[in-house]
Structure 1
Amino acid sequence: MGEVLLSKLSTELADIDGEIEQIDNKIGELRRKKTQLVQKKQAIERKIELKTHEDSDVVVDRWDRDGFSWSDEANKILKDRFHLESFRPLQRAAINAVMSKEDAVVILSTGGGKSLCYQLPALLTKGLTLVVSPLISLVEDQILQLRKLNIDASCLNASTSKEETKRVEDAITNKDSQFRLLYVTPEKLAKSKRMMNKLEKSLSVGFLKLIAIDEVHCCSQWGHDFRTDYAFLNVLKRQFKGVPILGLTATATSNVLDDVKDMLGIQAALVFRAGFNRSNLKYEVISKKSSDEECAEEIAHVINTQFSGQTGIVYCLSRNDCEKMATLLKTKGIRAKHYHAYMEPSEKSSSHQNWISGKIQVIVATVAFGMGIDKPDVRFVIHHTIPKSIENYYQESGRAGRDGLPATCILYFKLSDVFKQSSMVQQDRTGLSNLYNIVRYASDSSTCRRVKMAEHFEEAWEPSWCQKQCDVCQRATSSELKSTDVSKETKIAVQIIEDNLNAVKDGSGRITGNKLLDLLSKKLAGSRNRVFCEKLILFLLLESYLQEDFHYTVYSVISYVVVGSKWSVYKGGEILMPLYSNELGLSETKSRKRKAGSSSNEKRVEAEDDEVVFLDD
């Protein structure tokens, strides 16, 4: 009786999983449709407004316009102090909003000019703008640039001298001070009662005018870079009443945005969001060579042949990778220098400045090089390892082509790097889901790269709009995408996992993803190649036929691969994996058989192939 009930429940669960999968597919389609309708609605509303005011010179848009009492002075400061001819998209709207004492969140791509949204108001208000930023390197760079413009700005952190600390504290509590921008980390605010006390005094004398929070997505636990000290920032709206809050980020989904507004207590904040697309950037994903040496050789070749003499960034996962890659690039005649968090401050500063000035062609860095510095002529950004989220990739690759000229973003991708990253992010609330999203982006060879990004950022995008500015759209191929049944290969993968698990009496015979790839490649050697096996394991992970299981050791976290929830209720039938004909991974012998075979003997050849698949080692 119990077995019948379990069987019935398993069948019901499998049906539910099937329905969920169908719903997930429909959700993507509905999101795109919704965005298209919203954009169409806004366009119609704008036409109606324009028609209503066709006899008036009044600009319809409420914020992105001149005509405010401060507009003339803002335009003068833009040209005379910042030496810029015009505002970039959304900058003027954000400035007008905070000058009107409205809270606002600005979502602008990397290089979109977010810093001007709070730097210019600091001069307009003739008071203090507090800037909360997690990136000390970015802060130092901005202060250097501001001082060149004769704008008094400083930061307070652990390395600030006592003399500078006293100067700043005196300045921010003096309403007649010429001091304009104070940069602090969220940790500084959270841990320094003295700092909060000085800011309260600044408000009481009427000097504190604006609070800007950079990388505001870090406030959200749903974001890709949540930081616990950002949670302290929820006191700002209550503590500094009447002071507008301006949040700035390059990336934020609607869930993250809602969470940020709620956490900061600015639910009514205006939102200024630019489109995700940067038309001058070309996106490519390249299959990564099996050995580090081969991959490094290929990157050096790409730089020498495609970007000779041009400036770029190579992002690596670890400091050892950075140093190794920089060394190899130098042996190939490339002026390269590594950059990571474990370097001495003076050495990091030297690498940074030499790269800015052009003495160094390529900076090889970890994400510690996240300063978003104003270097417009970066012609390429290469990721040696897959980043931990689409947001991270978008921000890091977005440091290319800030001058609007063509630039290239290349992502090297292989299965083993997924397990390296998953072991590092698995403790984060959304770490694995964020990682798997970028894995979907990288492993999908049939969908426009911009379409994948647009889906993530909840924007509508048609492949034709890409203008062949990604490898998928540019690739001219006659290969046809087909849904290929991989149920037999999947059974072999599962059998390998179970055999290893049962090989040890206590059931501790767990298997890593890399070991599974080795054994599966050996098992299928007569019919499928290693590249196919790698794509299969990725597909099964993303579709929950397999899943990662993490175990802690004294020194590290190890990712093992186990049977997933979908396989547990699998009752047979096809498992369809989308593949191009050139991705089937057929052996040369098998490929020749298929080409030689006519439609009349097709089934016989397939039967022979199946026998090959199930051969024992």
Structure 2
Amino acid sequence: MEDDNVVMIDDEDDVYKVTADDEIAAIDFELQKIDEEIDKLKEKRLVLSQRKEKIKDNELLKKSLKTANKNWEKSTFSWSKKLENGLADIFKIKKFREHQLSAMNAVLSGEDTILVMPTGGGKSLCYQLPAVISKGVTVVISPLIALMEDQLYGLKKIGVKSGMMNAKTDKDITKSMMDALEGKNHDIKLIYITPEYMKKSKRFMAKVQKAFNLKLLTMFAIDEVHCCSQWGHDFRPDYQFLSCLKSMFPGVPILGLTATAPAKIISDVQKMLDIQGCLVLRAPFNRPNLFYEVRRKPADKDVCLSMIQNLLKSRFADKSGIIYTTTIKEAEQLTSDLRDKGLKVGCYHAILEPEVRSKIYSRWITGEYQAVVATIAFGLGIDKSDCRFIIHHCISKSMENFYQESGRSGRDGKKAVCIVLYRLADVFRLSPMVIGDKVGLQNLYKTLEYCLDPQTCRRSLIANHFEEKWNKNDCAEMCDHCRCPKKIKETDIGNYCRQIYQIIDKALKTDTNLTLIKLIDAWFSKGTASHRVAAVPVPKFSREAGENIVGFLLINGYLKEDFVFNAYSNLTYLIKGPKAGRAMDKSHKIMFVHDEGLGI
């Protein structure tokens, strides 16, 4: 009786028996080759698409450059004397900073402008001063009420009348704002509003239309303008409502302001706001007084706490700073733990009552608190010039966030320190939070790449991200890599990658989801025995080195996060990445540059 699973192949005089398993294996081999070709074509398509977009964006930037060639710094405009007097008499400032005068002259000339300037560079003055010397009203669109309140407080101190409108604004204040838009209250110079309120309030938009008809609309200032772009790190859908401003109010200049925006986002913002080819002013990103450092974050909570305690009591003794955390719960717990160790710190986050937040902020400003332990919302627009250190208890969600948060130190130009406490496990806590954003995961991996890099100047990594030209001498040993260079080694980790795949394959066969910890445990022959693979040897290097390898494989597409959402939480597991087919080819090298001290 013939076996149904055997196929007879007659090759002239020889007869071969081919089993169904052999045939399936042959088909699987062909399918793998096809998948590899598809991966290569997808990569090529992506590269070509990106190149096409880059060319189109460059054309927009060329138009912007042509506009920038005009001398916007001159002091012969009809309003130049008013600007000088307002700067000295009202704002008590002796001279303009870089690009401030250009931005003011441009918008007062009716020119749409985007100003990219580092945190603490003086962006708000670029619409506040023109508003003060103009007869009309400037509408400032800002994403955070806390940021608006801080600016209103500053304007009130110098006698500039302004106000904010939102759902909770007092009726009398709302009336005074509406009167200003109708020309009945000429004292009000600036009206602050969120894009959400602007979109929802038909009454407000009707009043803005009236101000436009009366020629009382000076400009629209859009703060954090990168939020308009879906490619930005803080995209907010309600910002897209602002795309109607140019068509509804032709001739009214738009001033977009941001501390962080690469060329792609600038081009996207121009298209979205219908101000293509507008004037773009970009201040240098380098903050020469900031020292950048990345430290390995201890897995043990008590060891990590001791590290922070030591920093605050020795290196940063009698100095003021901010410790950033990811969640409210972490901020409260870390504050409690540090207080138990005798440190004077306050906790600041969004759900605290306004009077409590104000009290904590005041105690930090006056020096009663050495540091504020806070979620990332704290510090936006806050100008405490003597903030000497920033500690990130967890890595930031993007390089843009990291740059902004770090930039809240050293605003007085004196030296300040920015330390990131890095641990791979934190990346997997953050990824479910950002997966809903179009480029959230991509942005998070850029920060991971910054932390994993073992040798490149930290400042050059930041400059490259923001497409800034960089000279290696510009750092002047103001980062950990330039001050204390490590011995670097390059290793082909292809074999380690394939060992990890064996662990993942075994887990798949038993419908097991592998978290980072479970994967690392199985690789180092720890944890649940059923997750281990007998054929995979225990690495001779440290667990830290193993985590670095996993991080490198993740950001380079050899591994991938798989997200599972349930009623209680969002979970992430590790699976093979899009480059798995290539990695399975033993001739394919995966070169990993690392600190020689890792022992890989």
Please say whether Structure 1 and Structure 2 have the same fold, judged by a TM-score greater than 0.5: yes
- Within the candidate set 483, 488, 492, 1:485 is matched to 492
- Within the candidate set 216, 233, 243, 2:242 is matched to 233
| In 1: Cα distance, 2:300 partner to 2:436 partner | 28
Residue of structure 1 in register with 2:340 after alignment: 331
AA aligned to 2:548 is K
Residues 12-31 of structure 1: matches in 2 within 5 Å? 14=36
Residue of structure 2 in register with 1:547 after alignment: 560
Residue of structure 2 in register with 1:518 after alignment: 521
Per the TM alignment, residue 539 of structure 1 is displaced from its structure 2 partner at its CA by 1.0
Per the TM alignment, residue 445 of structure 1 is displaced from its structure 2 partner at its CA by 1.3
The reply on whether 1:259 has 2:268 as its aligned counterpart is yes
| In 2: Cα distance, 1:176 partner to 1:342 partner | 35
Deviating more after overlay: 512-521 vs 144-153: 512-521
Deviating more after overlay: 326-335 vs 416-425: 326-335
> What is the RMSD of the two structures over their aligned residues, measured on CA atoms?
2.9
Q: Deviation digits for residues 306-354 of structure 1, max 9, x if unmatched?
A: 1111110000011111011112222333221111112112211221222
Q: Deviation digits for residues 366-394 of structure 1, max 9, x if unmatched?
A: 01214221111110111000111000000
**What is the TM-score of this pair, normalised by structure 1?**
0.85
- Within the candidate set 363, 376, 380, 1:354 is matched to 363
Distance 1:18 1:279, change over 3 A: farther
Per the TM alignment, residue 190 of structure 1 is displaced from its structure 2 partner at its CA by 0.7
Residue of structure 1 in register with 2:505 after alignment: 498
Per the TM alignment, residue 485 of structure 1 is displaced from its structure 2 partner at its CA by 2.0
Q: Deviation digits for residues 136-187 of structure 1, max 9, x if unmatched?
A: 1111011011011000011011221112111221123116611101000000
| In 1: Cα distance, 2:371 partner to 2:520 partner | 34
Deviating more after overlay: 346-355 vs 396-405: 346-355
* C-alpha contact (below 8 Å) 1:521/1:529 kept by paired residues: no
AA aligned to 2:431 is S
Residue of structure 2 in register with 1:557 after alignment: 570
- Structure 1 residue ranges without an equivalent (≥5): 29-40, 47-58, 586-617
Residue of structure 1 in register with 2:59 after alignment: none
* C-alpha contact (below 8 Å) 1:104/1:246 kept by paired residues: yes
Residue of structure 2 in register with 1:181 after alignment: 190
| In 2: Cα distance, 1:22 partner to 1:307 partner | 49
Distance 1:105 1:580, change over 3 A: same
* C-alpha contact (below 8 Å) 1:463/1:473 kept by paired residues: no
AA aligned to 2:504 is I
Residue of structure 2 in register with 1:467 after alignment: 476
* C-alpha contact (below 8 Å) 1:288/1:414 kept by paired residues: yes
Q: Deviation digits for residues 469-489 of structure 1, max 9, x if unmatched?
A: 111111144x2x222122232
Q: Deviation digits for residues 272-305 of structure 1, max 9, x if unmatched?
A: 0011111111110100000233212211211211
Distance 1:21 1:410, change over 3 A: farther
Per the TM alignment, residue 26 of structure 1 is displaced from its structure 2 partner at its CA by 14
Deviating more after overlay: 370-379 vs 118-127: 370-379
The reply on whether 1:218 has 2:227 as its aligned counterpart is yes
| In 1: Cα distance, 2:45 partner to 2:309 partner | 44
Residue of structure 2 in register with 1:572 after alignment: 586
AA aligned to 2:559 is L
Residue of structure 2 in register with 1:390 after alignment: 399
Distance 1:12 1:473, change over 3 A: farther
AA aligned to 1:496 is I
SS in 1 for 2:309: helix
AA aligned to 1:122 is A
Per the TM alignment, residue 456 of structure 1 is displaced from its structure 2 partner at its CA by 1.1
Per the TM alignment, residue 7 of structure 1 is displaced from its structure 2 partner at its CA by 4.2
Deviating more after overlay: 525-534 vs 135-144: 525-534
Residues 422-461 of structure 1: matches in 2 within 5 Å? 422-461=431-470
SS in 1 for 2:554: helix
Distance 1:494 1:4, change over 3 A: closer
The reply on whether 1:376 has 2:382 as its aligned counterpart is no
| In 1: Cα distance, 2:509 partner to 2:188 partner | 69
Aligned residues between the structures:
558
The reply on whether 1:200 has 2:209 as its aligned counterpart is yes
Residue of structure 2 in register with 1:603 after alignment: none
| In 2: Cα distance, 1:107 partner to 1:22 partner | 32
- Within the candidate set 172, 180, 199, 2:181 is matched to 172
Residue of structure 1 in register with 2:18 after alignment: none
AA aligned to 1:513 is L
Q: Deviation digits for residues 96-142 of structure 1, max 9, x if unmatched?
A: 00010100000000001000000000012122110000111111011
| In 2: Cα distance, 1:170 partner to 1:23 partner | 55
* C-alpha contact (below 8 Å) 1:326/1:336 kept by paired residues: yes
Residue of structure 2 in register with 1:55 after alignment: none
Q: In percent, how many aligned pairs have the same letter?
A: 43
Residue of structure 2 in register with 1:130 after alignment: 139
AA aligned to 1:482 is K
Q: Deviation digits for residues 69-115 of structure 1, max 9, x if unmatched?
A: 11121111101100111001110000000010100000000001000
* C-alpha contact (below 8 Å) 2:179/2:185 kept by paired residues: no
**What is the TM-score of this pair, normalised by structure 2?**
0.88
Per the TM alignment, residue 584 of structure 1 is displaced from its structure 2 partner at its CA by 2.2
Per the TM alignment, residue 553 of structure 1 is displaced from its structure 2 partner at its CA by 0.7
AA aligned to 1:516 is L
Residues 31-110 of structure 1: matches in 2 within 5 Å? 62-110=71-119
* C-alpha contact (below 8 Å) 1:340/1:366 kept by paired residues: yes
Q: Deviation digits for residues 374-431 of structure 1, max 9, x if unmatched?
A: 1111101110001110000001111011111111111011111000110110111101
Deviating more after overlay: 229-238 vs 211-220: 229-238
SS in 1 for 2:514: coil
Q: Deviation digits for residues 193-230 of structure 1, max 9, x if unmatched?
A: 01111111122222211110000000000000000110
Distance 1:165 1:175, change over 3 A: closer
Distance 1:4 1:175, change over 3 A: farther
AA aligned to 2:544 is V
